[in-house]
Each structure stands twice: as C-alpha cells, then as structure tokens.
C-alpha cells in the first residue's frame, strides 16, 4: 500500500525542481524497466500491479493496486509498473564522431524521439542547450522507449561549447544546401533549433554550413516538417552512405 507521502513525492517528479530535490526520476512500463539492471541506472523503488511479470531480483518489488498505479503514473493509459530511479550525476561530454546538438527544444516528445533516433543510428551523444527540455522529464523518458539508456545526453552553454568545437557545425533551415548534395564529413555536429523559433542568433553565427531537406511537393504550403521528423530524414540520409 502506497502512503500519501510517497504518492505525493512520485507525482512531483514531473517537475525538474522536484526531481533534483529528491534526486529521483521515473521510468514506466516493464519493457523499459527490464533494461535498467543492465544499465548504469539504479532503481530506488519498484511498484508493479503484477510483480510476477517483472523478473528483476535485485530490487524489492512492491505490489500495488491498479488504482494506485493510476495515481503515480504520468501516462494516460498507465502500463504495468513504475520504477523510481536515482538521478545520475550530470553527463560528461565525450569526444565522438557524429553528435546531435539541440538548441532550445521544448517538446518532450521531440526530445524523446530524437534520442530514439540517435540510438537507432548509433549516435552516442546529444548536446543540449541549458533551456532544452530535461531528459528526465517523464514524457521524454517514455518517448525514448528505453533509448535514454544508450545515448549520452549532456546540457551545457551552447555558445561556449560550440565556440571551442573544432569540427564542422551543420545547422538545418529552409534555405540551406540540399541534404542530398551534401558531403557529410567524418566528424561533425548536427544542430537543430527550437520548434517555433529555430536556432537562436548566438548559435546560428557559429554554424559552418546550413543544410535543408528539399520539398518535392506543392510549394504552396509554408509548413515545414516537425523537428524530430527532419532529424530522422537527415540522419537517414547521412547513414545511407556510411
């Protein structure tokens, strides 16, 4: 049986302030939770409506009622289990060949989808501006479908970081070089901007080359592609020749 105090703490974990205060974040669903023991993440508490289905022996599992699960889940349709995990130390930037850089991405679904894409294409690192949505936001974690376990997501001052980065910095906009004509170097950063406003000027001025997904359809539409879809199409193109 969950105490009101526990429920209150778990419910607060959708806010970064409380994740940092309690040093905890949430992972939902057996499918992702089962991957935790093989990762660097530590489970603090594990709550499940059906603990038999969760073969994790190293942590105490608490059986809870579906009604309790509903209270502590952030999903519209709660899954089987919720793992409360310890927030890791801040990720340290590594030296990698291809990395994604995010300048002020706000939508948790977009960040989660981009982490999932990075995992699919074997991109080990994503560098985020400090105002990008937090990777430990429960909606981001959920949208990664477990890929957050395999991608190094770091937050830093982008202007400072990119000023010292010595390889090409590719940005994406609506008027850059056609991605299908671009020779992608061995080592580079691929930068995506905010959903509504694109790259901020301080980031834009550090871009080495702008690239664009050409529109084949009706030019009448002023609508662009969503940022995570753009990332998928560009990554798909980069890896087509590797």
List residues binding a second copy (CB under 8 A).
113, 116-123, 145-147, 150, 180, 213-218, 220-221, 223, 225-226, 228-229, 232-237, 239-240, 242
- CB nearer a second copy, residue 29 or residue 104: 29
**Closest approach of Cβ 60 to a second copy, in Å?**
26
Neighbouring residues of 144: CB distance < 8 A, sequence distance ≥ 6: 112, 115, 116, 119, 151
Stretch (H or E) spanning 166: none
**Closest approach of Cβ 40 to a second copy, in Å?**
14
**Closest approach of Cβ 119 to a second copy, in Å?**
5
- CB nearer a second copy, residue 113 or residue 194: 113
Cα dihedral value 184, 189, 190, 191, nearest 10:
-150
- CB nearer a second copy, residue 47 or residue 188: 188
| 154 CB burial (10 A radius; 0-12, 13-18, 19+) | middle
| 201 CB burial (10 A radius; 0-12, 13-18, 19+) | exposed
User: Residue with structure tokens 């291809």?
Assistant: 98
**Closest approach of Cβ 147 to a second copy, in Å?**
7
**Closest approach of Cβ 180 to a second copy, in Å?**
5
**Closest approach of Cβ 158 to a second copy, in Å?**
24
Strand extents, DSSP E, the chain: 24-28, 43-48, 61-63, 81-86, 98-103, 125-129, 152-156, 169-178, 188-193, 209-212
> Degrees (nearest 5) of the Cα angle 121, 125, 130?
130
Check residue 225 and report its DSSP letter.
-
Please count the helices (runs of H) and the strands (runs of E) in the chain.
9, 10
**Closest approach of Cβ 120 to a second copy, in Å?**
5
- CB nearer a second copy, residue 11 or residue 230: 230
- CB nearer a second copy, residue 44 or residue 229: 229
- CB nearer a second copy, residue 9 or residue 145: 145
- CB nearer a second copy, residue 32 or residue 127: 32
């Amino acid at each position: 049986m969950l105490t009101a105090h526990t429920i209150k703490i778990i419910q607060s974990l959708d806010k970064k302030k409380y994740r940092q205060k309690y040093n905890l974040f949430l992972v939902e669903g057996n499918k992702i939770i089962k991957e935790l023991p093989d990762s660097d993440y530590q489970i603090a508490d594990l709550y499940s409506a059906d603990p038999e289905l969760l073969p994790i022996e190293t942590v105490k599992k608490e059986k809870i009622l579906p009604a309790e699960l509903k209270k502590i889940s952030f999903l519209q349709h709660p899954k089987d289990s919720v793992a409360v995990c310890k927030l890791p130390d801040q990720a340290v930037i590594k030296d990698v060949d291809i990395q994604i850089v995010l300048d002020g991405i706000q939508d948790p679904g977009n960040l989660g989808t981009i982490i999932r894409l990075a995992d699919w294409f074997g991109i080990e690192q994503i560098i985020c501006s400090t105002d990008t949505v937090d990777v430990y936001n429960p909606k981001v974690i959920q949208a990664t479908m477990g890929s957050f376990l395999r991608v190094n997501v770091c937050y830093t001052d982008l202007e400072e970081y990119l000023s010292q980065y010595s390889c090409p910095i590719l940005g994406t906009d609506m008027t850059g070089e056609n991605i299908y004509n671009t020779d992608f170097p061995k080592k580079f950063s691929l930068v995506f901007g905010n959903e509504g406003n694109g790259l901020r000027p301080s980031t834009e001025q550090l871009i080495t080359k702008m690239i664009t997904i050409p529109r084949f359809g009706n030019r009448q539409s002023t609508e662009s592609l969503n940022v995570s879809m753009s990332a998928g199409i560009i990554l798909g193109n980069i890896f087509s020749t590797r």
